[in-house]
Structure 1
Amino acid sequence: MNIISISQNVSRLEFALFDKIGGAPLAEGELKNWMNQEIFKSIPEKITLLCGKTLRMKNRAFSADLICIRAPYGGEDFKSPELLTDKSIKKLRKIEHVAPMHIPALIELINLLKDYFRGTPISLVFETSFFTRLPEREYVYAVDPGLAGGIPLRRFGYHGIFHERAFEFSHDKDKGRSRVISICLEPIPEICAVKNGNPLMVTGGATPLEGLPGETTCGDIDPLIILSLSESLGWGPEEINKTLSRKSGIQGLTGKKMNFAGLFSSSDSNAVLAKNLFLYKILLATGSAIAAMGGVDAIVFSGRYHDLGKEIHTYLLSKLDLPVDNCEVLPDNLLRLTAEAGLLSLLKNK
């Protein structure tokens, strides 16, 4: 079975073609600025062209038996991966206002793929589904919920696919590991405490801006900073959002575009400061995760920078009296995990 797996954020769409779960992709690629209308309209053709070109080099023909799409929002209405139906589209349209930059584009993408790959089943895999099981004490904010006008003011995490698989990965090795700290090292990193398969604490918030600082995201800041930027610089919501989400984090502290791999290898004084800040925030979040679960049995690193896990784990061991002295790494990438979850939803419907 050939499975196309798709993951997207505001600036980039990534895809891969798998013919078996657990194996390397047959082909993969990415489309930058995919929301640009000229690029958007040709997404199915570009995926077919790029996958077909790679497969021809292996003397294989391109075909797709299942399309799996990672959806960053919508978990409250989709508690588990779901095979696409007309009802699914109606449910998505009802929650467009929750993530106006993401869900309308997701609906358009689905319709494009449906028209191009006629008859091919599509499975939707939602990042936030995992976090609908957060305890109320963790997801509630101490503000009047009626202020948002229908938009839920609650905490979500944004790497639920990684966190859920990290727990399963560790628990499958040792059934006694019921308390797992999942440290997802993506450009927007996130830590989650998972006990008996359920999330108890997560650093992500109502948006991915909350929590740990990222490559371009600010992480936790005092809300009054936003008001100060508005008053002193005359900035409106769009400029403030652009600064905090695209020009902060590592980039804001170093003045350079730098990923986490570059940060950890740099000797530049500003980069060293940013690295120390990041490690310190991970330390605090790890302590919170241990407190939430009443202990820890395993720490699992995942995400595209999971290779940094060993260094981070050594740092944590030097600061905390941890009973966990081994560093576990989840080797799977997001596209493979999305394909696995999507395939399960297909099999359940057969």
Structure 2
Amino acid sequence: MSLILTLNAGSSSLKFSVYQDDAVLCTGQVERLFGEAALLLDENGLRSTKPLGPVDHAGALAAVIEALEPVLTGRKVSGVGHRIVHGGPDRRDPAELTEETIEELRAYAPFAPLHQPHNLACVVAARRLFPDAVQIGCFDTAFHRSHPWVNDTFALPRALYDEGVRRYGFHGLSYDYVTAHLARTEPELAKSRVVICHLGNGASLCAVRDGQSVGSTMGFSALDGMPMGTRCGQVDPGVLLYLMVQKGMSPREIEDLLYRESGLKGLSGISGDMRTLLESDAPEAAEAIEYYVFRLSREIGAMAAVLGGIDGLVFTGGIGQNAAPIRARACTRLGFLGIRLDEGANLSGLTDIGAGEVRVLRLATDEESVIAGAVRARLEA
């Protein structure tokens, strides 16, 4: 029996799934990479957790392959699907990951240094482990290639846009899943104006009209827009000039600051994990959360302006799906848009949590099923 394996390397996690036809045999993830990492495995409803210590992506992948050995033994892996964060300005569809394609994608590593190198390292490892399997890349930027020019350009000389200095947008696999889910379950809402909030260790918002992305808070890199676990979100570029000229910081030091030492971690001085901050009594934790909520409500308003109004608001991702206080505090600022929560439904973790003119939904995303579907389509072609 043939299998499909999916690998989804994030900035602080490695998610994986094994599919046989349309059936999911097992899923899991290694979370909190570089800290007290743990491997979570769900096989036929049987859940287990294995502490791993402070491992990186390479260590996480080794642990995943070891954990999957009972599932993979005696079965052929026909295809491996990979989340690739950056596909460049032209890729709208999944692609087979040949040597030539992998080298092309390496050029985008500076645009997504927390993700692209790890994504491609997983590809190289998977090609070695499963040499007979087709390797398919699914690109987080692809969903946003329907953007109008005004959303993707910066007010810089046009030659830079032609060279690729433009807004790309990310988290496309999550948005792809959510819009497809809405099309199946809420067809009228899916045809209207929807703002989707993907809130995890990385965070962004997407303005969707009739299932198509028309705006996103993330831009040239995965730094823009919302503050994140360790990433800064929107920052005045004058700050970067100041850090270089007045503080004498090198490009590498600034990159480390913006990607790894900022966001919730930098604001609180405690942690980049929202769960930790919500449990903390420290005033710095409260201030970091307040800034996050302020930015979230501001970005929802901005995406509503892109759409010319809002009919639906969707929360997804680890924070979006699980942090009821964050949803509640953000929505209290948005009553002027017709957004209001049903407090009981929000606390109970129901799907439909709105009580105003605008539909408000809480949905689990499933990037792995999107990846597996792309692999299945290639195998059946």
Q: TM-score range by the shorter chain?
A: 0.7 to 0.9
What amino acid sits opposite 1:245 in the alignment? Y
Distance 1:135 1:330 in 2: 27
Distance 2:236 2:304 in 1: 25
Instruction: Indicate the residue corresponding to 1:96 in structure 2.
Output: 106
Runs of 4+ with deviation above 6 angstroms: none
Secondary structure of the 1:65 match is strand
TM-score (norm 2): 0.78
Pair 1:153 & 2:143 matched: no
Q: Post-superposition shift, 1:24?
A: 6.6
- Given the superposition, is the C-alpha separation of residues 180 and 137 from structure 1 closer, same or farther in structure 2, using an over 3 Å criterion? same
Instruction: Indicate the residue corresponding to 2:138 in structure 1.
Output: 125
- Given the superposition, is the C-alpha separation of residues 47 and 270 from structure 1 closer, same or farther in structure 2, using an over 3 Å criterion? closer
- Given the superposition, is the C-alpha separation of residues 280 and 104 from structure 1 closer, same or farther in structure 2, using an over 3 Å criterion? closer
- Given the superposition, is the C-alpha separation of residues 199 and 27 from structure 1 closer, same or farther in structure 2, using an over 3 Å criterion? closer
- Given the superposition, is the C-alpha separation of residues 302 and 27 from structure 1 closer, same or farther in structure 2, using an over 3 Å criterion? closer
Q: Post-superposition shift, 1:71?
A: 0.5
Secondary structure of the 1:15 match is strand
Out of 147, 158, 166, the position equivalent to 2:178 is: 166
Aligned length: 334
Distance 2:75 2:276 in 1: 36
Pair 1:82 & 2:105 matched: no
Out of 235, 238, 245, the position equivalent to 1:231 is: 245
Instruction: Indicate the residue corresponding to 2:372 in structure 1.
Output: 339
Greater alpha carbon shift after TM alignment, 201-210 vs 75-84: 75-84
Q: Post-superposition shift, 1:22?
A: 6.9
Instruction: Indicate the residue corresponding to 1:73 in structure 2.
Output: 86
Matches within 5 A, 1:302-317: 302-308=316-322, 310-317=324-331
- Given the superposition, is the C-alpha separation of residues 12 and 33 from structure 1 closer, same or farther in structure 2, using an over 3 Å criterion? farther
What amino acid sits opposite 1:171 in the alignment? A
Distance 1:296 1:176 in 2: 13
Q: Is 1:19–1:26's contact at 8 Å kept on the other side of the alignment?
A: no
TM-score (norm 1): 0.84
Out of 300, 303, 308, the position equivalent to 1:289 is: 303
Q: Is 1:93–1:104's contact at 8 Å kept on the other side of the alignment?
A: no
- Given the superposition, is the C-alpha separation of residues 341 and 179 from structure 1 closer, same or farther in structure 2, using an over 3 Å criterion? farther
Out of 187, 191, 196, the position equivalent to 1:175 is: 187
Pair 1:3 & 2:26 matched: no
Instruction: Indicate the residue corresponding to 2:229 in structure 1.
Output: 215
Instruction: Indicate the residue corresponding to 1:273 in structure 2.
Output: 287
- Given the superposition, is the C-alpha separation of residues 299 and 20 from structure 1 closer, same or farther in structure 2, using an over 3 Å criterion? farther
- Given the superposition, is the C-alpha separation of residues 28 and 225 from structure 1 closer, same or farther in structure 2, using an over 3 Å criterion? closer
Distance 2:118 2:150 in 1: 32
Distance 2:378 2:301 in 1: 35
Q: Is 1:230–1:236's contact at 8 Å kept on the other side of the alignment?
A: yes
RMSD over equivalenced CA pairs, Å: 2.9
What amino acid sits opposite 2:181 in the alignment? F
Q: Is 1:82–1:345's contact at 8 Å kept on the other side of the alignment?
A: no
Distance 2:278 2:74 in 1: 41
What amino acid sits opposite 2:106 in the alignment? E
What amino acid sits opposite 2:139 in the alignment? F
1:267-319 CA-to-partner distances (Å, cap 9, x unmatched) read 32111111111111111111111111122222111112233464344334422
What amino acid sits opposite 1:292 in the alignment? V
What amino acid sits opposite 2:66 in the alignment? L
Distance 1:267 1:173 in 2: 40
Distance 2:105 2:321 in 1: 37
1:184-216 CA-to-partner distances (Å, cap 9, x unmatched) read 011111111111111111110111111110111
Q: Is 2:13–2:29's contact at 8 Å kept on the other side of the alignment?
A: no
Amino-acid identity (%): 23
Q: Post-superposition shift, 1:48?
A: 3.5
Greater alpha carbon shift after TM alignment, 296-305 vs 61-70: 61-70
Distance 2:131 2:273 in 1: 39
Q: Is 1:140–1:154's contact at 8 Å kept on the other side of the alignment?
A: yes
Instruction: Indicate the residue corresponding to 2:47 in structure 1.
Output: none
Secondary structure of the 1:2 match is strand
Q: Is 1:145–1:153's contact at 8 Å kept on the other side of the alignment?
A: no
What amino acid sits opposite 1:51 in the alignment? L
